[in-house]
Every structure is written in structure tokens, then in C-alpha cells.
Amino acid sequence: MRRHPVREGRFRHRGAELVYDVHDVHDVHRDAGEGDAGEGPLAVYAHGGFASQAAEDRMGLFDWTPVLAAGRRLVRYDARAHGRSTGEPVDDDYTYPSLAGDLLALLDHLGARRPVDAMGASMGCGTVLHAAVRAPDRFSRLVLLIPPTAWTTRAAYASDNRRSAATIERAGVDAWLAARRAAPRPPVVADVPEVPPTPAGPVLPAVLRGLARSDLPSLPKIAALPHPTLILAWADDPGHPLSTARTLADTLLHADLHVARTRADIHAWGARIAEFLTRPGP
């Protein structure tokens, strides 16, 4: 993401300090010498597991500039224990429903009186879906990026996470990182820079076990969601299988699915999201 001036904010919720950045549409216009355009409708983004805002920016995967240019006020935040946010080594703090509570608390802190657009990648996708199921009236549109393994494919992932937590506690973080580096990467992101996990070593086992206890909401609950939804997936990634994305697309009432097979496809996601957020409703 091209860096624009941002305003950092912080608030406390359930024993943690959560840090967020506000990117306004006027950040784009100011760069272009067009003056201050004010604040646009609110869109909130939740990042993937073990990452952070800064980590995703270093990876260079997602370009949010088109979303800003389309008039959205974008809030990106560091999940509990990730990046600049704090967190305790408590497994239940890192389940999807618990992280959804953090997202809803952020909306309260921001004073969001109208429904907001919510976007989330991987772990953030689970966060957004659980928040939408719990409080559907708080959201207008959903953007689900690289939906994680879920339902029938979740058990193997959960087992791997529990083994990873045990490895860290027995042999240290470096042993776990070595195993991660040895695993094959999806071809579509094979050349993306690898970044170390942002949760601190003492918290990592709790994060892993919390995610192991997580799953996406049940299909009947997802089917009841009324929100227009854009699903952005990529191919050949066992951790984010197309089966999840396709099941979501088949289950949600108003869903569009797009699958990236090249880096150019991923680079176009920002423009695709901007078009989706500004199109007339169904």
C-alpha cells in the first residue's frame, strides 16, 4: 500500500490496548494537491493471523489506494497481540468470536452510528463473519479476502496449530519458524517477502491454540446474512482452500467470487473492492 498520512488511535478493551490507523480520502487528494476532501463513509479492515498493518504493507500484497480514492474513510487495526496491539497468553482471547468482539468494540470506540463496510483477510475474514452474525445491523457490505480453511477442512488445520504451539513451548519460536519456512508456499504468492510473526513469543502458543479452537460460523447462520459480499480468493493454498470461498459464495444471499491466479490478479483487488463498495445495492 502506498503510504499516506494517517492518524493513529488507541483504545483499551478486555485488558488489551488495540491500535488502529485512520486513512482518509483527503490523504489521497492532499498528495495530488487537491485540498482536503473531508471524511468519507467508514470501512474497517482486519488483517490475517500473525501479521499486522505494517507486516502486510511490507509484503506489498494489498493496495488500498483505490478504496481511499473511492471516498472511503479506511480504518485498519492491529489485532490483539499483533503488531502494536497488546495481548495476554490466554487461548480464548484469539478465537474468531473473541476477535469479533474486539472489532465490534472498535466500532463503538469510533462512534460508528451507521452500518460500516467490513473487510477481513484470513483470520480477519473469520473475525468479520462472526461480527456480522452477532450484529448484522452494524454492517453494510462485506469483503472476505482469502477465506481460511473451514468446516470439514478445519480439523487438520487445528491439529497442526496445536502441534505448532507445543513445538514453540518445547523447542522455542525458531524451531517453529524453521518448519514454516520449509513448507511450500502457494505459487501465486511465492515471491512475496516473508515477514516474522508479530505476536511475541510468549503469546504465540495462545494465538495458535485460539485459532485452533476457531471456525467460521455455521452455514445456516451465514445463509441468514443479508449483506452484499465480495469474496476474493487465490488458488492452490491449502490454508485458504477454494472450497471455503466457493461454499461461502454458494451460501450467502448476495455474493460475488473472484479467484486470483497471478500477482496481477491480486494487485487488481483494490480497484475491485472500490468498485464493489460504491456500486448500487442489490
Burial of 120 from C-beta contacts in 10 A (0-12 / 13-18 / 19+)? buried
Please report the pLDDT score of residue 40 as a whole number: 80
Top-confidence residue, 229 or 35: 229
45 vs 239: CA distance, rounded Å: 20
**Per-residue confidence band for 274, with pLDDT thresholds at 50, 70 and 90:** very high
Please report the pLDDT score of residue 33 as a whole number: 32
Please report where in the chains the cell 441468514 appears, as a residue: 224
pLDDT digits over 36-45, tens only?
Answer: 333 689 999 9
Mind listing the domains of the chain with CATH numbers? 7-278 (3.40.50.1820)
pLDDT digits over 99-157, tens only?
Answer: 999 999 999 999 999 999 999 999 999 999 999 999 999 999 999 999 999 999 999 99
Please report the pLDDT score of residue 243 as a whole number: 97
Please report the pLDDT score of residue 5 as a whole number: 55
Percentage, residues of the chain above pLDDT 70: 93
Please report the pLDDT score of residue 32 as a whole number: 34
Cell numbers at 101, concatenated: 468482539
Across residues 76-86, what is the average pLDDT?
98
pLDDT at 28 over 80: no
- Asked if residues 107 and 195 have their Cβ atoms less than 8 Å apart, the reply is no
pLDDT at 24 over 80: no
pLDDT at 31 over 50: no
Please report the pLDDT score of residue 183 as a whole number: 86
**Per-residue confidence band for 180, with pLDDT thresholds at 50, 70 and 90:** confident
